Amino acid sequence: MRGAKLKYSKILTKELLKRLYWDELMSHSEIAEKLGVYPGIVSRYMKRLNIKTRTFEEGNKIKQPKFSKILTKELLRRLYCEVELTTREIAERMGATVSTVCRYMKKRGIKSRTPSEAKRGKRHPMYGKHPSRETKRKKSIVQMGERNSFYGKNHSEETKRRISEATAGENNANWRGGTSNLPYNYDWRTTSEIIRKRDDHVCQYCGSNGNCVHHIDGHQQHDDHWNLITLCNYCNSKEQYNRHNWLPYFYCIVKDPPPLDVLSDAMGVDITNSARVSGECQ
């Protein structure tokens, strides 16, 4: 320890520290990095040698010209909005602090991302990761019964009304232009039973017991056999989301092949012969 003090006293002389700090306008961290010591040691020796430190305003005057020229509005907008770097990544790239980047973004009129936007897509810590079944089971147990934050609570009638209005009609993710309100054809019971028997009462997607006859194109009155397929309750509810993405798959596996023009529209390709149809479905 004594040897270390002697070593620093020889390196950190008053003349050297004064020249680096006041003449070359280096910070404590920059001096420490240059001399290979810790910033705290530089601060301690400057205090011991009675070297006056800069005030906050004087420090800002030194840093201001440097970053005002580098952190332009065009650069910040490109890095933050187009390249979608975080403020920390911008700070590391430009050699500034996060607070400096945030201050200049506010000064340049660049709106920061909200917490939800900051964790969207690839920026989310769980992006590309999937919890195991055991993890899902544990989460489910933790949130059961009295441990659930909503246990014993009920929405007020006003809250229920607002939720209903916010998810009604075109605001609903499953909105399909009102086709769900159309009545089924008069012989739907007979038709649906024929489809179940055709598919052996088996879900054509997961292979479990199937009791739901599903309209592939989503229209209740289109009862052509090529437009009907048997699904289980789970797969039938899952299919309600992104329905257009399911069309090509269901039209390829349904036991009664659809017309070529219908299959072409679903796949988004021009199918001109049966050979191409079989190739696409495989």
Which of 34, 53, 72 terminates a domain? The answer is: 53
64 shares a domain with 33: no
105 shares a domain with 193: no
Domain boundaries, position 107: 59-118
So what's the pLDDT on residue 171?
Answer: 78
Total domain count for the chain? 3
For residue 220, give the nearest of 190, 179, 159, 255 by alpha carbon.
Answer: 179
So what's the pLDDT on residue 36?
Answer: 84
Residue 276: which pLDDT band, with cuts at 50, 70 and 90? very low
**Residue-wise pLDDT tens digits, 74-105:** 989 998 888 888 888 888 888 777 888 888 89
- Spatial CB neighbours of 109, under 8 Å, sequence gap ≥ 6: 73
For residue 241, give the nearest of 187, 155, 172 by alpha carbon.
Answer: 172
So what's the pLDDT on residue 126?
Answer: 82
92 shares a domain with 23: no
Distance from C-alpha of 88 to C-alpha of 221, rounded to nearest angstrom: 56
214 shares a domain with 197: yes
258 shares a domain with 195: yes
Residue 273: which pLDDT band, with cuts at 50, 70 and 90? low
**Residue-wise pLDDT tens digits, 125-150:** 888 888 888 998 998 888 888 888 88
Of residues 125 and 211, more confidently modeled? 211
**Residue-wise pLDDT tens digits, 36-70:** 888 888 888 888 889 888 887 777 666 555 677 78
243 shares a domain with 198: yes
Residue 114: which pLDDT band, with cuts at 50, 70 and 90? confident
Listed range (1-10, 38-47, 134-143, 192-201) with the worst mean pLDDT:
1-10
109 shares a domain with 69: yes
Residue 5: which pLDDT band, with cuts at 50, 70 and 90? low
Q: Amino acid identity, residue 5? A: K
Of residues 194 and 34, more confidently modeled? 194
Listed range (71-80, 175-184, 196-205, 211-220) with the worst mean pLDDT:
175-184
The model carries a pTM of 0.41
Q: How far is CA 85 from the centre of its chain?
A: 14
Extract the runs of DSSP E, i.e. beta strands, from 122-242: 212-215, 228-231
41 shares a domain with 85: no
Distance from C-alpha of 218 to C-alpha of 176, rounded to nearest angstrom: 8
63 shares a domain with 49: no
Q: Amino acid identity, residue 40? A: G
**Residue-wise pLDDT tens digits, 213-264:** 998 887 888 888 999 999 998 888 888 777 778 888 888 888 888 888 777 7
- Looking at the DSSP bridge assignments, the partners of residue 231 are 212
85 shares a domain with 64: yes
69 shares a domain with 32: no
Q: Is the pLDDT of residue 1 over 50?
A: no
Distance from C-alpha of 267 to C-alpha of 261, rounded to nearest angstrom: 10
Distance from C-alpha of 203 to C-alpha of 152, rounded to nearest angstrom: 37
Q: 246 lies in a domain?
A: yes
So what's the pLDDT on residue 158?
Answer: 92
So what's the pLDDT on residue 229?
Answer: 92
Q: 128 lies in a domain?
A: no
**Residue-wise pLDDT tens digits, 141-178:** 888 888 888 888 888 899 989 988 888 877 776 676 66
So what's the pLDDT on residue 275?
Answer: 44
Q: 30 lies in a domain?
A: yes
